[in-house]
């Protein structure tokens, strides 16, 4: 007898529930990071199976009506809980009456009760037998950083901005690739792209940067994945140019993989100043001689010629129009045979992932479109981007380390450079930047370099 789809999914739920229960009841499942990871993985497996079962039995009209209404009320409740810091006013241990909670928060008791009772249908807070409010495992996360920051940003900032997507289409038309013609611009009434807007309005940008800090600490985005994303030991006594490398986290991971390498981290003046300040530097003392920092915008023509360039989580913030410009600014410095290593999202073909992973991937892509008119690219879209930029850029490999949300895209520049090089001796590195592309190194008081003349570059 062949099981139906529903029966198969239900059986999978039952098996996963048994494994999780067994794990929770076992003595070895109690403590330790590895034990926590195993328990979390089992919980996620059961969650994914249950989600698939739920989707398969959900009435079609329910998905278009009640689920939609529920999503709206979810966001409304979360915005209220965030705006008035409700979770922090509920005792970590014990409970509190609705009246005392309303008094503490200086809000209306009736509205508070109705919002909380809706949240309780999602197991966020619970009502005790005596009718008081207490925390659940989920609501406690709203007291701490990390998840709390993400929840607050999504409901208070993300949702209002996303709701302006259609208005952006009405204003600028369909298919815009401009970073300042987005739902973000409609909501904030600004002509600045998001990153520029937050630079000029740091208080407004603070929650966004907190969310990014939270994401970078998640296992899927750990810098540890850089170590296994590429065979760094295949390089010997090479300098890696880490473009847009911020404080140098990626470079530290690279240098830990091969003691013969050195890195130049390039970024804008503010992160470079922070990276080189002894009080805010994250570079270990024993690596300081192998990592240097340089002010450089990836929009500007690259002046440092090297064998390897590394760019992490940059291109997914930009549409093809601007991603091509970033690549074209790098090409003049690349010699034939030089590698470009891009660590970024590579979306999988539709339907090849588990339903939960598929949904998360599509959510990221929607977010890039709404905030930047950018996208998360699949393999073909990456290939098209490289083809638009320069036919000499050859894709060698795409590798995704186990557990990583990011893939490493390895490119090599084939063929001869389109510009001619000449050797000169300059008095200082500053002068070399005025002329062209630095290839050599400082020898005594002089800098021996190979440069491409500005005239040749313009030709």
Which pTM does this prediction carry? Answer: 0.82
Task: Examine the pLDDT at 459 and tell me if it is beyond 50.
Answer: no
Name the class of domain 221-413.
alpha beta
Query: With contact defined as beta carbons under 8 Å apart, do 404 and 433 qualify?
Result: no
Q: What is the pLDDT of residue 144?
A: 82
Mean pLDDT lowest among 20-29, 155-164, 166-175, 413-422: 413-422
Q: Is 65 helix (H, G, I), strand (E, B) or coil?
A: coil
pLDDT tens column, 365-384: 999 999 999 999 999 999 99
Q: What is the pLDDT of residue 1?
A: 60
Residues 6+ apart with CB under 8 A from 364: 345, 376
Task: Examine the pLDDT at 190 and tell me if it is beyond 90.
Answer: yes
Which position has the token pair 């360039």? 309
d(CA 376, CA 344): 9
What secondary structure, in 3-state letters, does 328-371 show? Answer: HHHHHHCCCCCEEEEEECCECCCCCCCHHHHHHHHHHHHHHHHH
Mean pLDDT of the chain: 88
Task: Examine the pLDDT at 438 and tell me if it is beyond 60.
Answer: no
Orientation of helix 33-57 relative to helix 5-25, angle to 10°? 160
Name which of 447, 456, 440, 430 is nearest 305 in CA terms.
Answer: 440
Which position has the token pair 């003046």? 269
Q: Extract the tokens encoding 386.
A: 């490289």
pLDDT tens column, 300-332: 999 999 999 999 999 999 999 999 999 999 999
Any idea which residues carry the catalytic annotation?
A: 316
């Amino acid at each position: 007898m062949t099981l139906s789809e529903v029966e198969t999914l239900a059986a999978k739920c039952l098996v996963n529930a048994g494994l999780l229960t067994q794990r929770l009841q076992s003595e070895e499942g109690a403590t330790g990071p590895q034990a926590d990871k195993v328990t979390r993985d089992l919980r996620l497996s059961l969650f994914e199976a249950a989600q698939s079962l739920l989707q398969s039995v959900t009435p079609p009209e329910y998905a278009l009506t009640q689920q939609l209404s529920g999503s709206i009320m979810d966001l409304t409740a979360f915005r209220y809980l965030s705006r008035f810091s409700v979770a922090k006013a509920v005792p970590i241990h014990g409970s509190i009456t609705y009246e005392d909670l309303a008094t503490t928060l200086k809000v209306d008791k009736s509205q508070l009760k109705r919002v909380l009772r809706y949240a309780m249908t999602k197991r966020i807070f619970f009502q005790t037998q005596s009718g008081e409010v207490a925390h659940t495992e989920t609501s406690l996360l709203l007291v701490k950083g990390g998840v709390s920051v993400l929840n607050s940003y999504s409901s208070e900032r993300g949702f209002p901005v996303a709701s302006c997507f259609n208005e952006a289409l009405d204003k600028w038309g369909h298919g815009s690739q401009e970073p300042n013609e987005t739902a973000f611009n409609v909501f904030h009434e600004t002509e600045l792209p998001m990153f520029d807007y937050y630079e000029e309005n740091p208080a407004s940008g603070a929650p966004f940067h907190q969310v990014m800090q939270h994401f970078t600490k998640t296992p899927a985005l750990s810098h540890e994945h850089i170590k296994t994303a590429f065979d760094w030991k295949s390089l010997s006594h090479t300098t890696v140019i880490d473009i847009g490398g911020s404080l140098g986290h990626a470079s530290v991971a690279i240098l830990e993989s091969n003691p013969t390498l050195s890195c130049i981290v390039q970024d804008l003046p503010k992160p470079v100043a922070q990276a080189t300040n002894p009080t805010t530097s994250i570079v270990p003392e024993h690596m300081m001689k192998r990592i240097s920092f340089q002010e450089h915008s990836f929009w500007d023509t690259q002046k440092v010629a090297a064998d390897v360039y590394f760019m992490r989580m940059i291109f997914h913030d930009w549409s093809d129009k601007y991603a091509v410009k970033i690549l074209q600014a790098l090409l003049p410095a690349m010699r034939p045979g030089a590698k470009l290593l891009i660590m970024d999202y590579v979306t999988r073909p539709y339907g090849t992932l588990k339903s939960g992973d598929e949904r998360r991937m599509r959510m990221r892509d929607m977010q890039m479109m709404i905030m930047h008119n950018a996208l998360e690219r699949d393999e073909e879209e990456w290939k098209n981007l490289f083809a638009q930029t320069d036919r000499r850029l050859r894709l060698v490999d795409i590798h995704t380390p186990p557990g990583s949300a990011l893939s490493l895209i390895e490119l090599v520049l084939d063929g001869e450079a389109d510009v001619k090089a000449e050797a000169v001796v300059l008095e200082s590195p500053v002068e070399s930047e005025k002329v062209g592309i630095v290839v050599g190194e400082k020898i005594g008081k002089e800098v021996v370099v190979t440069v491409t003349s500005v005239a040749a570059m313009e030709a």
